[in-house]
């Protein structure tokens, strides 16, 4: 058996499943105890399996988690009588039922929706979801989100406290609140994905894992009929489209490669096809979302056989609609970029004049990067260099700095 | 050929707070090492040990929790392998997967008593 190999990420995924199931059985009040117990199960497995795998590792882990649940039941029962009705007979049957695949999925959905509860601080939601749903350790979350371990610990404990204090129940919201919460779930998954895709994080592995988790969880949400909508499918499509380009965005020496210079033959076709299917599903629903538009923009880039062959006109339309909805300054900046590609330099200039870079905060350097593109396009390389110098002063990320420097050197 | 016991000390995954993903990756390294030794036909025996336990010591047979001892000294498991000499056993131990976690391998030759 020594040559057997485990399914990739089996432990991580199984961790999320088991924590969700046990939380469903014992309630969110016992979350920390549950997480410790499941962690213990994995330590045991990793020692026991050193010399060879059991025939069905997943079933082994599930059985181990079930045993932990029974242990916990006994322990908690000894501590209080509140759980008196659980244990033997019908309760034991209920326990078995909870470990069936569809119930596991149901429990995981509850966990995702719990993580996105409006009483949790938005910043804490992502850390909490990565920990309890996706099975990341505190250190892994810190690495993925480029935060200090202490900051992550604080966020996790604040999330747990908010759950206790507000007595948040482990269930999906009722019909009246469901849509709003679902929208937040989509947003959080989108943010997790973006942390992976746009991250300044240089380690490709970590970025891939964040994107992978976001895709996996989006898929899980789409499994349940009353949680399906256009936004959900569009989000899934968008993630597939972006993920298809993830590897071609980075050079061998970990520099960011822009769209113009990516090797388009490296884009991963099966994911693009999956995204296409999801996008047509999205369009069969009545609701509209920013994800629809972002997916449509991504499709245009993917369809183009080269950077020059991009249908900028169509992309411009999508961005304008996006801006109408969101009033997001970064979208305005994207519109300016598209206008430059279309040689509509004057329009681009007046848009740039409308943007106050200070409003972009730590992303102000992007503004000067676009301004440099503008000057380059109208044949004023000296001014472009000045703009790039400002961008270089403002940028904090090393990969981005290297990218801007390269641009500047080309102009000199 | 002589028998050597490789004793693994420290690098307790639970104490180190390894993530599920990291534990799975560690296991892959252990599989690889075990497989290598197995195909060389040198494994005599080997077990992993639970981290919990007790110590009994002294004439009073005093029982203490293992928790009272230094975690870095915790024995996590062992292999008994066949090797030509200490140098060969040391070579085998090079592939122990947990050196980077602060783990230690103690190598001891098993005594053979003449009949």
Shortest CA gap A152–chain B (Å) = 15
Q: What pLDDT, on the 0 to 100 scale, is given for residue A88?
A: 47
Please check whether residue A196 is in contact with residue A214, taking contact to mean a CB–CB distance below 8 angstroms.
Answer: yes
The structure's pTM equals 0.83
Higher-confidence position of A226 and A359: A226
Question: Looking at residue A361, what is its pLDDT?
Answer: 78
Neighbours of A239 (CB within 10 A): 31
pLDDT of residue A87: 46
DSSP for A111-163 reads: HHHHHT-TTS-HHHHHHHIIIIIT---HHHHHHHHT--HHHHHHHHHHHHHHH
Residues of A in contact with B17 (CB under 8 A): 137-139
Summary mean pLDDT of chain A: 88
* Cross-chain residue pair B17–A138, CB shorter than 8 Å: yes
> Environment class of residue A222 by beta-carbon count within 10 Å: exposed (0-12), middle (13-18) or buried (19+)?
middle
Asked whether the beta carbons of A47 and A55 are under 8 A apart, the reply is no
CB contact under 8 A, B19 and A14: no
Of B24, B38, B77, the CB nearest to A47: B77
| Range in A138-142, A287-291, A337-341 the model is least confident about | A138-142
Considering only CA atoms, which of A359, A290, A368 is closest in space to residue A329?
A: A359
Residues on chain B touching A9 (C-beta within 8 angstroms): 21, 24
Listed in sequence order, the residues at least 6 apart from A298 whose beta carbon sits closer than 8 Å to its beta carbon are: A238, A241, A242, A275
Does position A276 have pLDDT exceeding 90, yes or no? yes
Classify domain B2-109 at the CATH topology level. Alpha-Beta Plaits (3.30.70)
Residue A310 in contact with residue A300, Cβ under 8 Å? yes
Minimal CA separation from A117 to chain B, in Å: 25
| Percent of residues, chain A, with pLDDT higher than 70 | 93
Q: Do B28 and A6 touch (CB under 8 A)?
A: yes
Q: What is the Cα–Cα distance from B102 to B100, expressed in whole angstroms?
A: 5
A11, A52, A209 ranked by CB distance to B23: nearest: A11
C-alpha–C-alpha distance, residues A154 and B8, integer Å? 35
Average confidence (pLDDT) over B1-12: 93
pLDDT score recorded for residue A202: 62
pLDDT at position A207:
81
ipTM for the predicted complex comes to 0.81
**Separation of alpha carbons A163 and A169, rounded Å:** 8
Task: Give the residue-averaged pLDDT of A348-359.
Answer: 91
- Is the pLDDT confidence value at A254 over 70? no
């Amino acid at each position: 058996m020594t040559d057997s190999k485990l399914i990739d990420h089996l432990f991580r995924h199984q961790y999320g499943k088991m924590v969700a199931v046990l939380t469903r059985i014992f309630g969110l009040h016992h979350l920390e105890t549950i997480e410790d117990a499941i962690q213990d199960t994995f330590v045991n497995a990793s020692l026991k399996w050193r010399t060879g795998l059991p025939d069905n590792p997943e079933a082994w882990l599930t059985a181990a988690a079930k045993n932990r649940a029974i242990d916990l039941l006994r322990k908690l029962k000894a501590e209080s009588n509140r759980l008196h009705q659980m244990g033997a007979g019908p309760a034991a049957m209920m326990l078995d039922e909870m470990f069936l695949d569809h119930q596991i999925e149901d429990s995981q959905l509850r966990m995702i929706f719990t993580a996105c509860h409006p009483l949790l601080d938005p910043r804490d939601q992502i850390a909490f979801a990565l920990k309890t749903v996706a099975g990341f350790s505190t250190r892994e979350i810190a690495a993925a989100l480029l935060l200090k371990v202490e900051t992550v610990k604080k966020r996790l404990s604040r999330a747990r406290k908010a759950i206790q204090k507000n007595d948040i129940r482990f269930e999906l919201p009722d019909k009246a609140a469901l849509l709003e919460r679902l929208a937040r779930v989509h947003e959080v998954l989108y943010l997790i994905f973006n942390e992976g895709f746009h991250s300044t994080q240089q380690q490709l592995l970590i970025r891939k894992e964040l994107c992978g988790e976001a895709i996996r969880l989006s898929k899980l949400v789409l499994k349940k009929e009353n949680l399906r909508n256009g936004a959900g499918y569009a989000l899934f499509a968008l993630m597939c489209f972006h993920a298809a380009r993830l590897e071609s965005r980075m050079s061998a020496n970990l520099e960011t490669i822009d769209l113009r210079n990516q090797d388009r033959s490296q884009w991963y076709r099966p994911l693009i096809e999956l995204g296409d299917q999801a996008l047509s599903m999205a369009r069969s629903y009545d609701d509209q979302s920013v994800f629809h538009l972002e997916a449509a923009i991504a499709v245009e880039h993917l369809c183009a056989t080269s950077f020059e062959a991009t249908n900028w006109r169509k992309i411009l339309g999508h961005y304008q609609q996006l801006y109408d909805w969101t009033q997001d300054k970064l979208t305005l900046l994207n519109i300016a970029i598209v206008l430059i590609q279309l040689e509509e330099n004057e329009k681009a200039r007046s848009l740039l004049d409308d943007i106050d870079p200070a409003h972009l905060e730590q992303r102000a350097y992007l503004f000067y990067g676009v301004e440099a593109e503008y000057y380059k396009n109208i044949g004023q390389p000296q001014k472009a260099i000045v703009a790039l110098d400002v961008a270089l002063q403002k940028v904090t990320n090393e990969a981005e700095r290297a990218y801007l420097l390269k641009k500047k050197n080309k102009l000199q | 050929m002589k028998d050597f016991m490789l004793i693994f000390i420290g690098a307790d995954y639970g104490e180190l707070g390894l993530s599920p993903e990291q534990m799975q990756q560690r296991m892959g390294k252990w599989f690889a090492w075990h497989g290598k030794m197995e195909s060389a036909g040198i494994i005599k025996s080997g077990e992993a040990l639970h981290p919990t336990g007790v110590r009994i010591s002294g004439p009073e047979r005093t029982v203490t929790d293992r928790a009272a001892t230094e975690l870095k000294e915790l024995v996590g498991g062992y292999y008994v392998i066949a090797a030509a000499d200490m140098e060969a056993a040391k070579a085998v131990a090079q592939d122990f997967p947990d050196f980077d976690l602060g783990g230690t391998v103690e190598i001891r030759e098993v005594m053979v008593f003449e009949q």
